[in-house]
Structure 1
C-alpha cells in the first residue's frame, strides 16, 4: 500500500472517529440508596440510546454537601455541566451567575413542549416568569393516617381531618392509654423539619418572607408570617400539652417507624416516603391533603430538587446537557422514576403510561398526592419562598418546633423565631449588597 493511499485511509478513520465521538458532560447529583440506583439506570439507558452525548453521573453526597462543593468550583473549568440542587438552593443558584436559565433552551427548541410538564412544579422554579431550572425529583407534604385505627374508634376511614381543629378532635378519639394511664398510641405527630411549617403556612395562604416571597427579583428583608405562625405553634403546643400529639425529633425514620408500628395514628410526611410507608405498615394506610386553619385547602409547596445547566461557555456541552434534561423529563422516564422512588412525575403524560397506571392501581394513595398537586392554587404563597439563607432560617424554625414540643408558649416561640430569622436575613443582605 503506497503512502498516499495510507494517508487517505488514516484521514478517513480520523473523520469517522470524530463523527461518532460523544460529547462528554459531567452531572453532579445528590441521590443515594434506591434513588441513586434508579438515576444511574436512567443515565445508562440514555447513554446507550444515542451516539452524541455521554453523561458521567457523579454522586456528591447530600444536597448540603453538593452545594458546598459547587460553590468551590462555580465559574471554573472544574464545574459540572449539569447539577442537581434541592429546592432551598434556588436563590443561590439563581443569583450565582453560573447557570443558564432553562427558558433559554426551551425558547430555542421548537420540539420541546413545556405544556406537557406540571405547571405547579414549574411554578416553584420560575422567577419573574422565567424558568431557571427543571424540576426532576418532586414531592410535597401529605397527611398519612391509619385507616384501621380510624375504624376501631368509630371514625370514617375515608374522611381525614382538614383543619387544625379537626386534627385535634380526631386525635382525642385516636389516643389510646393503657391501664396505668400511659399513652400507648398518640393521635398525631409532625417531624421536626421546618419544611412542614412552610407547607402549613402556604396552605394558610401566608407568605414566608416579604418581597413577594423573594420572587420579585429583590432579596427578602424580613419574614412575613408573624400573624399566622402563632396559630400553628399554639395548635402544636396545645396538642402536645394535652398528650394528643408527640414529637419524635428530627430523624424522619423515627416518626415513620412510630406510625408503621401503630404508636401514632396520623402524621405529616413527604409524598416521596409514601411507597416505603405502605410497604412497611401492616394496616391500611390512608393519604389526605395537608390541613390548615380554615379547612379549605389552598395548596402545598413543592419540595425535592431540580436540574441546573451551568454556564461553561461551551455551547456544545450546554446543548448536550439540555438533551439529557429533555430525556430525564420525558413521559416514560418520569413514569419509571416515579414508580421506583415515590416522587411524582414531572411530565403529565406519564400518567397515561402502562407503568404509571399499574403503579397507581397498586398504590391508590398516590392518586391523593396527584389530586393535591392539581388542587393547589397557583399563588405566591404556594409558589414557595426564595431565600439566600434558607438553611440557616430553617434551622431556627426547627429549634422553635423542638422548643414548642417541650412546652414553650406558641406566641413567644413565634416572636423569637421571627426576630432571629430577621437578624439572619439582615446580615445576609449587608454582606451581599
Structure 2
C-alpha cells in the first residue's frame, strides 16, 4: 500500500505562493496546480519503513545512508526508525509482523537469522540475487556470510558487521610500564589487568556478562557453545569451564569488575573512558565513538586482537539486512533496491569510516579510501585482520533463550563465590537443552 509523502520543500513552496500578492484567482489556481502535482509525485513513490538498532554514531550512520538513498532516486522513499537494541528490534518486528504492519526492511542480529527465516517472517533473497545480474554476491567477505544462509538459501546480507576487539588506554599503559603492543595470550591479559589495577578503585578491565565475549573465550579454549548437530549445548565442558574461570577468577582477584543490570554494557564503556579501567572488550562498531571520546579525554586509544587461549578464535557479530515476508511484488522490488544500496561499495566504505564496523565487501575493503584510512588510523584495520580467526554465531531455534539462561547463571556465579563453576554450567545446560529440544 502506498502512503502519501509530501516534501517539506513542496509545502513551503505552496505556502509562499499562497502568501504572495497578485490576482487571487490566479494565485489560488497556481497553488492548486502545484498541490496536485506534488500529490501526484508523492503517490508515485513506493513507501518503505526501515527499522534499525543502536544510537549515537551508529544511528547517525543509518539515518545518513537512508537520506542518501532517498536523494539518489525519485521512485522509492524510505523512513528510517530507531528501535533500541537488537533485542528490541527483534521483539518489535515479531509483534509488528503478527499485527500485519511490519517494516519492509529491518535488521537481524546474525544469530537470529535462522529463527526469523524458519518462522516465515523474512523473505529468501536468493531469487532476487539470481535475477539481478549486476549484483555480485561473491564480492562479500566470505567470513561474514556464514550467518546469511538457512537451508541453502540466502535470507540476509551482511551490513554493519563486527568482531569484538580489545581496547586499551595506551597512555595509561605507558604510565604503569606496560608494553603498548598489548597482550597476546590469556596469561599476558591477566598480567596486564593486574598492572592496571590499583588501590584507588581502578581495575584492569570492566566487562559485563556478555555471551558474545564468552563465545570467543570458549572457542579459544577449544570448545563450542553447541554440539556439531546443534541439538544440545556443549558449554558445560572442560573448555567451557576454562573460559568462564578466566572471567570469574579475575573478578575474584579484583582485576576485573562485572557491571550488572540492563545498562551493564554502557557502564563498562563509561568505566573505560573515565579512566576507571585500563582495558575494554567491545564491538568494532564502537570504535569511531570511542576514538572521539578518547580524543576529548586526552588519552591514546589502541585496539588489539582478542587475547588467545589454546586457539586464536573470535566470533563475528552485528547486523544483517533482511526483507520481511508477505510483501507485494512492488514493495519487494523496492525493498531489494534499498538493501542493495545500503550495502553497495560506496555505502560500505562510508559506514565503516563513520562507525568502525567492518567493510563487508572486498571491493570496499580494498578501496583507496579504506586503505588510506588504515594508513592514517591503524585501529580501524585490526578487526579486518582479525577476520582470519573469525567464526559465525550459532543459529538454532531458542538460542536467544539459551544465551539468557547462561548469562543469568554466570552472573549468579560472579555474585556468589561459593558456587562451583561445574554446577553453574550444568544447571544452565539442563535448562538450555530443554529449550533447544
TM-score, with normalisation over the residues of structure 2?
0.81
2:215 to 198, 214, 220: 198
Whole-angstrom CA distance in 2 between matches of 1:261 and 1:238: 24
Pick the aligned partner of 1:284 from 300, 319, 339: 300
Task: Show the counterpart of 1:234.
Answer: 245
Corresponding residue SS for 1:191: coil
Q: CA deviation at 1:211?
A: 4.4
Residue 16 of structure 2: aligned partner: none
Structure 2 CA distance, aligned partners of 1:58 and 1:233? 37
SS in 1 for 2:68: helix
Matches within 5 A, 1:179-190: 182-190=199-207
Alpha-carbon distance, 1:428 to partner: 5.4
Residues 1:324 and 1:205: Cα distance change in structure 2 (over 3 Å): farther
Which residue does 2:192 correspond to in 1? 170
SS at match of 2:332: helix
Specify which of 408, 412, 421 is matched with residue 417 of structure 2. Answer: 408
- Secondary structure, aligned partner of 1:111: coil
Taking structure 1 as reference, are residues 66 and 276 closer, same or farther at Cα in structure 2, changes over 3 Å only? Answer: closer
Instruction: Quote the Cα distance in structure 2 between the aligned partners of 1:99 and 1:193.
Output: 27
Cα distance change, pair 19–237 in 1 and its aligned pair in 2 (3 A): closer
Provide the rounded CA distance (Å) in 1 between the counterparts of 2:105 and 2:225: 29
Partner residue in 1 for 2:109 = 86
Confirm or deny: 8 A CA contact 1:191 1:268 kept in the other structure. no
CA contact (8 A) 2:208 2:259 kept: yes
Deviation at 1:427, TM superposition (A): 4.0
* 2:314 counterpart (296, 300, 314): 300
Structure 1 residues 134-164: Cα deviation after superposition (integer angstroms, max 9, x where no partner): 1211111111122233333433212x22222
**Does residue 367 of structure 1 match 2:381?**
yes
1:351 aligns with 2:351: no
Q: In structure 1, what is the Cα distance between the partners aligned to 2:96 and 2:260?
A: 35
Contact preservation (8 Å) 1:124, 1:302: no
- Alignment of 1:137 onto 2:127: no
Q: How many residues in Structure 1 have an aligned counterpart in Structure 2?
A: 395
Change (3 A) 1:36 1:166: closer
> Helix, strand or coil: the match of 1:74?
helix
Flag the structure with more relative contact order, 1 or 2, with Cα contacts below 8 A and sequence separation at least 6.
Answer: 1
Secondary structure of the residue that 1:393 maps to in structure 2? Answer: helix
Task: Check conservation: 1:236, 1:404, Cα contact below 8 A.
Answer: no
Match of 1:28, SS state, is strand
> In the alignment, what sits opposite 2:333?
319
Distance change in 2, residues 1:80/1:253 (3 Å):
closer
Does residue 309 of structure 1 match 2:326? no
Aligned pairs (5 A) from 1:218-257: 220-250=231-261, 251-257=264-270
1:7 equivalent in structure 2 = none
Report the Cα offset of residue 371 of structure 1: 0.7
Contact 1:28–1:59 (Cα < 8 Å) also in 2: yes
Could you tell me which runs of 5 or more consecutive residues in structure 1 were left unpaired when the two chains were aligned.
1-12, 177-181, 215-219
Selected match of 2:395 from 386, 393, 415: 386
Change (3 A) 1:166 1:404: farther
What displacement does 1:24 show? 2.6
CA distance in 2, matches of 1:403, 1:163: 27
- Deviation per CA, 1:85-117, whole angstroms, max 9, x where unpaired? 223322321211232222232122121111211
Distance change >3 Å, CA 266–CA 29, structure 1 → 2: closer
Q: For the residues of structure 2 that align with 1:393 and 1:93, how far apart are their CA atoms?
A: 16
Alignment match of 1:101 (pick from 121, 124, 135): 124
CA offset at residue 50 of structure 1? 1.9
Cα 1:418–1:198 shift into 2, 3 Å: farther
- Between 324-333 and 267-276, the greater mean CA deviation after superposition: 267-276
- In structure 2, relative to structure 1, the CA distance for the partners of 1:313 and 1:270 (3 Å cut) is closer
RMSD across aligned C-alpha pairs, in angstroms?
2.8
Q: Is the 8 Å Cα contact of residues 31 and 39 (structure 1) preserved in structure 2? A: no
What's the secondary structure of 1:208's corresponding residue?
coil
Asked whether the 8 Å contact 2:124–2:153 carries over to 1, the reply is: yes
Question: Residues 385, 154 of structure 1: CA spacing in aligned structure 2 closer, same or farther, 3 A cutoff?
Answer: same
Change (3 A) 1:399 1:345: same
Structure 2 residue runs of 5 or longer lacking an equivalent are 1-35
